[in-house]
Amino acid sequence: MQESLTCWSVFEMYEEQVRAIYPESKAKRVINEFRCATLRFWLSQLGFTRATSGRKMTKAESEAAKEFLKSLRVEVLLSARQTIQQAFQSQKASIASQNTYGNRFNQFLSWSEQQQWWPARGSRRARVKQQSCPSMKNPYGHTSNTPLTERRTVHQKYTLKPQDTPAPLQKELDDFYQYLTDPECPFRVIDPISELSALEYTKNIRLMLGWFCYHRTPPIALEQLRLSHLISVLRQEDLEHLNSKEQAKLWKQHRQTLEIWLCSYFRFLREVLHSKSPSTKRNKLGALLELAKFLYTSEVEEEADYKQIPLFKALNNHLSSVRKDISEWVKNRQSVSDFEKKWPDTAEGETALEVVRTKIVEPLRLECRPRNSRGRFRSGFAIAKSYQDYLKWSLLADIPARRQQEYRTLRIALICPVKRPESVPPDGLYQPLPPAQVREKHWDGTIKDNYLYFTYVHEKKPYPQGVWVLDIQQYKTRSTHGGQSIVVPNRQLADGSCFYDYLEGYLYGSWICDGYKNRQVYDWWQPELKGQRGRWVTSGRTEFNPLDTFYLSTDANSPKWLWGYVFVLPRLGIGASASEFGCSFESTSHRFIGKRISPHMMRYFWATWAYQVGLDDAQTRSLAYAMGHKVETLRKLYERCTPEEKRRPIEEVIEELLFKQPPSPELKQEANTQPESLLAQLQKLSPLEREQLMAMLDMLDK
């Protein structure tokens, strides 16, 4: 059969398969999109020429295309993925067209590769090679081989841990946290803050309390320690019996006590912990200022009254000084860590973002293949981890990088209602966004969780193939930019696969029609694989035995919604902390290029890329919004172009406009004689040569 098999015969078989597995309406749409991908794009790259340029082919053109397909042997399909990509580029197809028609053509090729007639099927070596990932080498060793700071000693952990905190002090800390976050707090004159900010303040307070116990000279006994050791409190009744001079003297004593321990603590940070960043001091002072507001709540009637309290004046003076230091650090691009060890090495004209995408993200994608470099099947756990690594990097390198906290806390629904919504096709993938009434909320009713979900209608726009969406409702600058709903693009990749293939392989598992063990029949959500024999090479996220969490609505009539974190820790099955999430990026980047790139560094790469490629103001503002901050923040804080890159545009203009050498008198004389010489040469041309020359000039004009 393969002797006489042509592309036309194969297409007929595929279309019959589509009609058999899809409802009539969907089958018609699938076939139309497949034919468009084939006739409009793929055949044009193989030499088929249409008589018209319209999008719809005439009947005569369709018949000519059919005859052309009958002349093509199935071996041409071996390079079809590369061919259609070349067709997209030569015809300058839009991203939407590439995704729609590329995905449809890729589905056909995936089906073809499982058929007995597929040309490469007899070559097991070729199949194994396609399924094998590169050798996973680690030439740079552990990340500890590339220290980011000058510190060579073990970092001292001196915080006062909750289990060591005396009950009275713990009660004070709980009251402080409630004061910061509770929407209705009596006598408070400041606005409540987010739970994340409150946790950051209490973390710094615990650090200072730990210093008082373990490092201060003389130390304070743990059982005696109270918040008033950090900020002493003078009530109005303590001052009533004193005259103004005595009051000033008492305030001075308390201010001196604060200044002495604070300077001693900052010296400890600098000399013992080798902490040089002014941002560290700012964080401690900010926490102390909030603590002082809490302790002096009963002494003020409005926020402006705090400024009249001497201890607040002392803290604000320190803050004013440290802000100047921070401004100098930002201006001079100064950093505690060595940026050279976090910034990729780039060639002339190459951006850091490009290096990350080509030398880290793409190799990670290739490592998702089911076999190792020797052709043996990898464990399902290892494949799932490769999927996770690739997805995490792709979400920060292929779309504008948002804060890592959004991806670290990203959730996904693990159950859904039995009744399928009308918008979901009968055979379509269903991965819902939980209804608002069962999602986690702030005290004011606003949603405070982030979800990944799959839908066929987004922002009232239909997506017949469906799209994955990031519903981001909880992030640092939400009060400024509001919640964001981000469609994850399903870009087609170099080998014809698409981003969604990897995302769904991670979430649901990956099937392969190959191998000799566990031969099963596929019967899940991918219709092109139904009935095929093969094996599951990984169960995806389930390989990590995730420990998921229930969230139950207070409404008795609402169902339970089980959810879990998208990116759980592979070994533990729980959500990652900020440090654990960041370390996974650093270890991966160090393995490939010897640099320790954190998720936050990706924001620097995007901001610098915007300057290097010359985005205009509107594009830059759009990028800043997509990253979740203001354009001023992008330009002032994150952009890291070199001085040479910043000077190059004006230097080139100066050379062009101010120092362009005028032509010499000899060149002017030669230029004046050129028209006469050219006219003489034209007169010597024959009529045919003149006609050919005019045709060439017309072509150049066009």
Q: Residues with Cβ < 8 Å from 513, sequence gap 6 or more?
A: 113, 114, 522, 529, 532, 533, 534
Q: Do 182 and 320 lie in a common domain? A: yes
Residues 363-389 pLDDT 10s: 999 999 999 998 899 999 999 999 999
Q: Do 98 and 185 lie in a common domain? A: no
Strands of 484-488's sheet in order across: 484-488, 461-472, 450-458, 411-413, 561-565, 549-551
The whole-number pLDDT of residue 363 equals: 95
Q: Do 168 and 78 lie in a common domain? A: no
Is position 649 within any domain?
no
Task: Report the percentage of the chain scoring pLDDT > 70.
Answer: 86
Q: How far apart are CA 661 and CA 489, in angstroms?
A: 50
Q: Who has greater pLDDT, 435 or 149?
A: 435
Is position 53 within any domain?
yes
Sign of the CA dihedral running 681, 684, 690, 696: negative
Q: Do 72 and 120 lie in a common domain? A: yes
Domain boundary among 271, 306, 331: 331
Q: How many domains does the chain have?
A: 3
Classify 76 as helix, strand or coil: helix
Per-residue buried b or exposed e for 191-229, using 16+ beta carbons within 10 Å of the residue's own CB? ebebeeebeebbebbbbbbbbbbeebeeeeebeebebeb
Q: Do 42 and 187 lie in a common domain? A: no
Q: How far apart are CA 309 and CA 313, in angstroms?
A: 7
Strand partners, 453: 469
Residues 606-664 pLDDT 10s: 988 988 888 888 998 999 899 888 888 887 777 776 667 666 677 777 777 777 766 66
Which structural domain, as residue segments, surrounds residue 310?
A: 162-331
Q: Are strands 461-472 and 561-565 parallel, antiparallel or unpaired?
A: unpaired
Closest CA to 448 of 538, 551, 370, 517: 551
The whole-number pLDDT of residue 694 equals: 63
Is position 350 within any domain?
no
Is position 284 within any domain?
yes
Q: Who has greater pLDDT, 683 or 345?
A: 345
Summarize the confidence of residues 331-342 as an average pLDDT: 84
Is position 520 within any domain?
no
Strand (E) or helix (H) holding 324: helix 310-331
Residues 78-88 pLDDT 10s: 888 888 888 88
The whole-number pLDDT of residue 1 equals: 34
The whole-number pLDDT of residue 61 equals: 80
Is position 273 within any domain?
yes
Task: Report the percentage of the chain scoring pLDDT > 90.
Answer: 43
Q: Do 78 and 213 lie in a common domain? A: no
Q: Do 115 and 186 lie in a common domain? A: no
Q: Do 182 and 310 lie in a common domain? A: yes
The first and second tokens of residue 125, run together, are: 């070596």
Is position 404 within any domain?
no
Q: Do 181 and 322 lie in a common domain? A: yes
Q: Do 292 and 185 lie in a common domain? A: yes
Summarize the confidence of residues 125-134 as an average pLDDT: 82
The first and second tokens of residue 261, run together, are: 């321990």
Domain boundary among 331, 346, 377: 331
Q: Do 199 and 260 lie in a common domain? A: yes
Q: How far apart are CA 264 and CA 8, in angstroms?
A: 83
Q: Do 17 and 88 lie in a common domain? A: yes
